[in-house]
């Protein structure tokens, strides 16, 4: 169901349009002025804005031009009187999809909205086709054709269209920054800057100045004013990597900036408008950090509007051959290497990859640097891959069962196989010990000789 925002200072005209739109099945909202419309747009973005041309304060043409700059995915229909057709033509030249003359007729409004919906459906279908072609073996630097990676690609394309904050979760080495860059490149603001901020690498004494900027004289050595990293995005995307490492005292300032959409540089009384979209990433459990008091719950919920989880490599092992080919093509073009031996590939497929894709990339680079011959073998792999794999740690229930079996066996041995005495040693009933003996296959422990 498409959503439409009706902007008109005339209550009768506005109410009529809203009633017709809802009757046609559209989700319709209303605003009595361009100012009110912009306030609504700050919280949610409709598919279509239907605006009058003549309104007190900011006109419909001015609203249209703002929408084309700040919300390019919104289609705009303008309403105008019979005597102002030249202004309607001007609106179309400025980017309006179409114009309607007042008094608005139900069929005209229906026809225009259905045309927009049809156009958007065709665009979505064409885009989906392009996405599928791109996603066959990889997507925007991310490599993988597994179902889990395809799901990541789909979510990237879905969240890219809106300015909602995105929280990217995943272990180290899974490609969280690649995900953030892909979101930016497929957003309507792809021409704007992408600013990456490693919250864990910033100097603690300068982190506030780095993020928010500072005024001249704000601290010793501040000889001139400087814009912070949050301001440098200028309407693009700010990627806050390792957000869990941000000091608690700065989390409240970041929260305030996100809530008020304003940045206040250090030592300055003047606020700067925050226009950027925020994508944050972490490899730590933020919910646990919230419970431990290391991360503000209100900031967590502000950042966690949309969550995108990048799977560890061990959960999509079927992509390992694709990744190996990708890294061989990237780093081995001048080495004359044709690939890895079947034994080496088997070892790569069965390794647990705690360092994820980054570790695999390093493994391929190392093999290319140290290997000889067109085929790389087991001897060219890092020692960590050649060690026998450690058996996985059994679950707690399995460990408890083993301890119980050992206790019963020791009690039987101490009692010479006398099940009654063994039960007394353990403090359990005879029925229980007979059942446990059978459960653990301890029937072979000899019973005491008769007459004992």
Judged against a pLDDT cut of 80, whether residue 383 lies above it is answered with yes
Query: Quick one: 301 and 324 in the same domain?
Result: no
Measured CA to CA, the distance from residue 70 to residue 158 in angstroms comes to: 19
Looking at 293, 309, 325, which one is the last position of a domain? 309
Query: Quick one: 293 and 191 in the same domain?
Result: yes
User: Is residue 445 one of the residues assigned to a domain?
Assistant: no
Query: What pLDDT score does 450 carry?
Result: 46
Query: Quick one: 81 and 189 in the same domain?
Result: no
Judged against a pLDDT cut of 50, whether residue 399 lies above it is answered with yes
Query: What pLDDT score does 140 carry?
Result: 80
* Cβ atoms of 215 and 266 closer than 8 Å: yes
Query: Quick one: 168 and 284 in the same domain?
Result: yes
Question: Based on the structure, what is the number of domains in the chain?
Answer: 4
Judged against a pLDDT cut of 70, whether residue 129 lies above it is answered with no
Task: Tell me the mean pLDDT in the region 104-122.
Answer: 87
Query: What pLDDT score does 80 carry?
Result: 85
Strand 142-143 and strand 138-139: the pairing is antiparallel
User: Is residue 446 one of the residues assigned to a domain?
Assistant: no
Measured CA to CA, the distance from residue 246 to residue 286 in angstroms comes to: 12
Q: Which residue range forms the structural domain that includes residue 26?
A: 3-125
Tracing tokens 């019963």 back to the chain, one arrives at: 408
Query: What pLDDT score does 150 carry?
Result: 86
Domain CATH code at residue 83:
3.40.50.2300
Query: Quick one: 152 and 299 in the same domain?
Result: yes
| Residue-wise pLDDT tens digits, 196-239 | 988 877 776 677 888 888 887 777 777 787 787 888 888 889 99
Query: Quick one: 92 and 158 in the same domain?
Result: no
Looking at 309, 329, 359, which one is the last position of a domain? 309
Domain CATH code at residue 426:
1.10.10
pTM: 0.60
Strand 75-80 and strand 98-101: the pairing is parallel
Query: Quick one: 67 and 83 in the same domain?
Result: yes
Query: Quick one: 254 and 332 in the same domain?
Result: no
Query: Quick one: 88 and 234 in the same domain?
Result: no
Query: What pLDDT score does 266 carry?
Result: 80
User: Is residue 249 one of the residues assigned to a domain?
Assistant: yes
Query: Quick one: 119 and 255 in the same domain?
Result: no
- Give the H or E element holding residue 121: helix 106-134
Looking at 73, 98, 125, which one is the last position of a domain? 125
Query: Quick one: 333 and 212 in the same domain?
Result: no
Task: Tell me the mean pLDDT in the region 144-155.
Answer: 88
Higher pLDDT, residue 406 or 21: 21
Measured CA to CA, the distance from residue 432 to residue 111 in angstroms comes to: 79
User: Is residue 254 one of the residues assigned to a domain?
Assistant: yes
Query: What pLDDT score does 339 carry?
Result: 86
Task: Tell me the mean pLDDT in the region 352-358.
Answer: 92
Query: Quick one: 175 and 258 in the same domain?
Result: yes
User: Is residue 133 one of the residues assigned to a domain?
Assistant: no
Measured CA to CA, the distance from residue 123 to residue 145 in angstroms comes to: 24
């Amino acid at each position: 169901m498409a959503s439409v925002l009706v902007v008109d200072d005339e209550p009768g005209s506005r109410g009529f349009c809203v009633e017709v739109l809802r009757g046609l099945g559209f989700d319709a909202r209303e605003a009595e002025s361009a100012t009110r419309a912009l306030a609504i747009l700050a919280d949610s973005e409709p598919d279509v804005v239907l605006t009058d041309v003549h309104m007190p304060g900011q006109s419909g043409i001015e609203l249209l031009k703002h929408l084309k700059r700040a919300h390019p995915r919104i289609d705009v229909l303008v309403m105008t009187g019979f005597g102002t057709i030249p202004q309607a033509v001007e609106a179309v030249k400025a980017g309006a999809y179409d114009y309607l003359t007042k008094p608005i007729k139900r069929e005209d409004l229906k026809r225009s909205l259905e045309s927009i919906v049809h156009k958007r459906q065709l665009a979505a279908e064409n885009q989906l086709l392009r996405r599928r072609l791109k996603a066959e073996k990889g997507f925007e630097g991310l490599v993988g054709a597994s179902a889990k990676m395809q799901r990541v690609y789909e979510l990237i394309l879905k969240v890219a269209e809106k300015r909602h904050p995105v929280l990217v979760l995943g272990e180290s080495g899974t490609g969280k920054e690649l995900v953030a860059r892909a979101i930016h490149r497929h957003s309507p603001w792809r021409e704007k800057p992408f600013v990456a901020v490693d919250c864990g690498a910033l100097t603690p004494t300068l982190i506030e100045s780095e993020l928010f900027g500072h005024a001249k004289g704000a601290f010793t050595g501040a000889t001139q004013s400087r814009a912070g990293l949050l301001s440098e995005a200028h309407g693009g995307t700010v990627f806050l990597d390792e957000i869990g490492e941000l000091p608690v005292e700065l989390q409240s300032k970041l929260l305030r900036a996100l809530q008020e959409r304003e940045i206040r540089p250090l030592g300055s009384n003047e606020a700067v408008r925050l226009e950027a979209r925020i994508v944050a990433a972490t490899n730590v459990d933020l919910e646990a950090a919230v419970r431990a008091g290391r991360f503000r719950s209100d900031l967590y919920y502000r950042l966690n509007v949309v969550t995108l989880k990048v799977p560890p490599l061990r959960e999509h092992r079927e992509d390992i051959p694709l990744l190996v080919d990708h890294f061989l093509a990237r780093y081995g073009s001048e080495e004359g290497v044709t690939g890895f031996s079947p034994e080496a590939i088997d070892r790569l497929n069965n390794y647990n990859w705690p360092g994820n894709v980054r570790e695999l990339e390093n493994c391929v680079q190392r093999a290319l640097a140290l290997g000889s011959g067109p085929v790389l073998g087991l001897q060219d792999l890092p020692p960590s891959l050649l060690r026998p794999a450690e058996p996985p740690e059994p679950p707690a229930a399995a460990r408890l069962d083993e301890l119980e079996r050992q206790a019963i066996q020791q009690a039987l041995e101490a009692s010479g196989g006398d099940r009654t005495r063994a039960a007394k040693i353990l403090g359990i009933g005879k029925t229980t010990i007979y059942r446990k003996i059978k459960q653990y296959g301890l029937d072979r422990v000899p019973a005491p000789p008769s007459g004992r």
